[in-house]
């Protein structure tokens, strides 16, 4: 009887291990459709298992303090705090954009994170591959967080790297420049996916110059950076946008580095 129980347990653990490997492989190298199915099954707010993410090798970027982070454009008008695992940024009458960014830089990876707007008066974003350029401007690729009627959350804005890339720079849906119809469709999907009053789940897959992003299970960006100013390895950065007022919070930032063979 004991042997039968042990065999059953071993078999179940083997199945679970295989399932975990399949999950990770799909997120790393699977097609957009396959990755989207996995994101919807395991990486939505009401489904994500943070313990399982850790077991898969994801590392939390939020510790017990902010010692592993730096601030670009640190001014009295802006304040970052960490409480109960939630990083909050607040600013009033801020000139220029401010970023809280990691000391460590990353190259190819998967990134799961959650965010919410504490009020809807200003937009924000999560930057990746961010660093100071030759002109000493803070530059990087941005997962847009857009509470306006346009609802472009999850699309690709390049801070000090040419502005909107997806849509616009190299187009969307295979076009050199996104059509108005495509832009309206992206806004419609964003309207359906974005929660303006609560937490949202974001997911980024970056392999070389190939970028995909998801918002609450919806694929938002599928983009290959074609111009020659691709920033490469850089920090993860949390944006407080300049303006009259901005208040945003982030939690559960989990990153899994991918080796070159995963690209």
Q: Which of 204, 236, 245 is nearest to 43 (CA)?
A: 204
Residue 230 lies in a domain: yes
Residue 242 lies in a domain: yes
Residue 16 lies in a domain: no
Residue 168 lies in a domain: yes
List per-residue pLDDT tens for the chain, 263 residues long.
Answer: 433 433 333 333 343 455 677 889 999 999 999 999 999 999 999 999 999 999 999 999 999 999 999 999 999 999 999 999 999 999 999 899 999 999 999 999 999 999 999 998 888 999 999 999 998 999 999 999 999 999 999 999 999 999 999 998 888 877 778 889 999 999 999 999 999 999 999 999 999 999 999 999 999 999 999 888 899 999 999 999 998 899 999 999 999 999 754 44
Q: Which of 227, 89, 223 is nearest to 156 (CA)?
A: 223
Q: Tell me if 123 sits within 8 A of 146, measured CB to CB.
A: yes
A 10 A CB-CB count for 223 gives 21
Length of the chain, in residues: 263
Continuous segment of H or E residues that includes residue 165? strand 163-166
Q: Tell me if 223 sits within 8 A of 166, measured CB to CB.
A: yes
Q: Say which residues have a Cβ less than 8 Å from residue 125's Cβ, sequence separation at least 6.
A: 142, 143, 144, 145, 157, 159, 239, 241
Q: Please give the Cα distance from 165 to 167 (Å, whole number).
A: 5
Q: Tell me if 248 sits within 8 A of 81, measured CB to CB.
A: no
Structure tokens at 63: 């510790």
Q: How far apart are the first and last CA of the chain?
A: 47
Structure tokens at 179: 């059509």
Pair type for strands 200-207 and 235-240: unpaired
Structure tokens at 182: 């495509």
Residue 101 lies in a domain: yes
CATH number, domain containing residue 106: 2.60.120.560
- Per residue in 67-121, pLDDT tens? 999 999 999 999 999 999 999 999 999 899 999 999 999 999 999 999 999 998 8
Residue 213 lies in a domain: yes
- Exposure of 11 in the CB half-sphere (CA atoms within 13 A): 6
Residue 23 lies in a domain: no
Q: Tell me if 73 sits within 8 A of 56, measured CB to CB.
A: no
Residue 8 lies in a domain: no
- Per residue in 180-194, pLDDT tens? 999 999 999 999 999
Structure tokens at 165: 């890339």
Q: Please give the Cα distance from 60 to 159 (Å, whole number).
A: 25
This prediction's pTM: 0.90
Tell me which residue range forms the domain holding 136: 49-262
As for how many domains the chain has, the answer is: 1
Q: Please give the Cα distance from 185 to 162 (Å, whole number).
A: 23
Q: Please give the Cα distance from 34 to 36 (Å, whole number).
A: 5
Structure tokens at 57: 């090798």
């Amino acid at each position: 009887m004991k042997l039968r129980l042990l065999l059953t347990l071993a078999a179940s653990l083997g199945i679970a291990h295989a399932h975990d490997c399949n999950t990770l492989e799909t997120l790393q190298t699977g097609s957009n459709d396959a990755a989207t199915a996995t994101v919807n099954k395991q990486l939505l707010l009401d489904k994500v298992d943070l313990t399982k993410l850790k077991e898969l090798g994801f590392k939390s970027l939020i510790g017990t303090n902010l010692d592993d982070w730096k601030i670009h454009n640190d001014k009295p008008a802006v304040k970052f705090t960490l409480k109960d695992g939630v990083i909050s940024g607040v600013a009033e009458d801020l000139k220029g954009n401010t970023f809280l960014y990691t000391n460590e830089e990353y190259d190819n990876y998967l990134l799961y994170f959650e965010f919410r707007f504490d009020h809807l008066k200003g937009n924000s974003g999560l930057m990746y591959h961010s660093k100071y350029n030759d002109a000493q401007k803070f530059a990087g690729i941005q997962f847009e967080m857009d509470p306006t009627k346009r609802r472009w959350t999850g699309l690709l804005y390049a801070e000090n790297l040419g502005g909107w890339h997806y849509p616009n720079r190299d187009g969307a849906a295979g076009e050199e420049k996104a059509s108005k119809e495509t832009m309206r469709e992206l806004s419609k999907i964003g309207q359906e996916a974005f929660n303006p009053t609560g937490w949202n789940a974001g997911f980024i897959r970056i392999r070389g110059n190939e970028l995909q992003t998801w918002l609450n299970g919806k694929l938002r960006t599928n983009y290959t950076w074609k111009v020659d100013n691709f920033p490469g390895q850089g920090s993860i950065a949390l944006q407080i946008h300049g303006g009259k007022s901005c208040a945003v919070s982030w939690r559960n930032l989990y990153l899994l580095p991918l080796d070159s063979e995963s690209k």
